[in-house]
Structures are given as C-alpha cells and as structure tokens.
C-alpha cells in the first residue's frame, strides 16, 4: 500500500516537476542566448569604437 502511494506521489511530483524543469531550462537557454547576443553587440561596439 505504502509503495503504491509512494509511486503515485512520485508520479505527481514528476508531472509537476516537468513543466518547472522545462521553464527553468528555457530560462537558462534564454539567458545564455541573451548573454551571447549582448556580448556580440558589445564586441561589435568595442570594435567599431576602436576602428
């Protein structure tokens, strides 16, 4: 009985966890892309300034 209950709780947590994880992963990816993009813009600006 306890094992069954644990499995159900675990499934619930997994289902709940999935969207949170996906959102979190997307946020990290978004951050990385933004940082890379910002760095590229900064790099361009610095290059233009020094040229």
* DSSP, res 1: -
Number of folded domains that form the chain: 1
31-51 per-position pLDDT tens digit: 988 899 889 988 888 888 887
DSSP-derived secondary structure letter, 39 = H
Mean pLDDT of 7-17: 75
Whether residue 32 lies inside any domain: the answer is yes
**Has residue 22 been placed in a domain?**
no
Compute the distance between CA of residue 29 and CA of residue 40 in angstroms, rounded to an integer.
16
Residue 13 lies in a domain: no
| CA gap 39, 33 in Å, rounded | 10
Q: Is residue 4 part of a domain?
A: no
For 35, the enclosing helix (H) or strand (E) is helix 2-50
pTM of the model: 0.46
- pLDDT at residue 11, rounded to an integer: 78
Domain, as residue range, for 37? 27-51
């Amino acid at each position: 009985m306890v094992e069954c209950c644990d499995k159900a709780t675990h499934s619930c947590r997994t289902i709940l966890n999935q969207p949170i994880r996906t959102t979190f992963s997307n946020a990290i990816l978004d951050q990385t892309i933004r940082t890379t993009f910002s760095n590229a813009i900064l790099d361009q600006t610095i290059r233009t300034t020094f040229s």
